Amino acid sequence: MNAATSAIAIAKVRLLGRDAGSVVLGLAGTNYQLHLAAPESIDAEVGKRTAGVIRGAVWKVDFVSKGGGYVEPLAGQPRRVQGRVIGALDGENAVVVEVCGCPFVGDLPDRWRANEIAAGTPIALDFADGATFTPAG
């Protein structure tokens, strides 16, 4: 990720919990509790805000015409996110989708090209197991 495009991928979240190699994050203004793999070097205290990149390997892409942004399930490892594309990461086949005010990075399989998906496109991404959170900075 280069600096210009990575700024759109930084999620501002609340750290709700942590275990060895994983975190639980909350999205502002929602009841979502995202369970993500993460390095143990997260400096934030539980209950405090932190920033970083939420990222997952995508196995399915749906171009949608109706519905708002959401994450499935409400609590647990994200399996599906729906929102609007806000950009693609230069040099990577990855789209950034804004869901409930929070960016999610989806690494696309080769059959889809991130640079061919226009910003503003409503989209749903199905993530494979193992979505991650990498602290910013």
- Per the prediction, the chain carries an average pLDDT of 93
- Report how far residue 23's alpha carbon sits from residue 15's, in angstroms, rounded to the nearest whole number: 7
Each residue of 43-92: pLDDT tens digit? 889 999 999 999 999 999 999 998 889 999 999 999 999 999 999 998 99
Name the strand (E) or helix (H) holding 122: strand 122-127
Q: Which residues does 87 contact at the CB level (< 8 Å), separation at least 6?
A: 5, 8, 95, 96, 119
Q: Which helix (H) or strand (E) holds 103?
A: strand 102-107
What's the whole-model pTM score? Answer: 0.93
**What does the domain layout of the chain look like in residue ranges?**
3-135
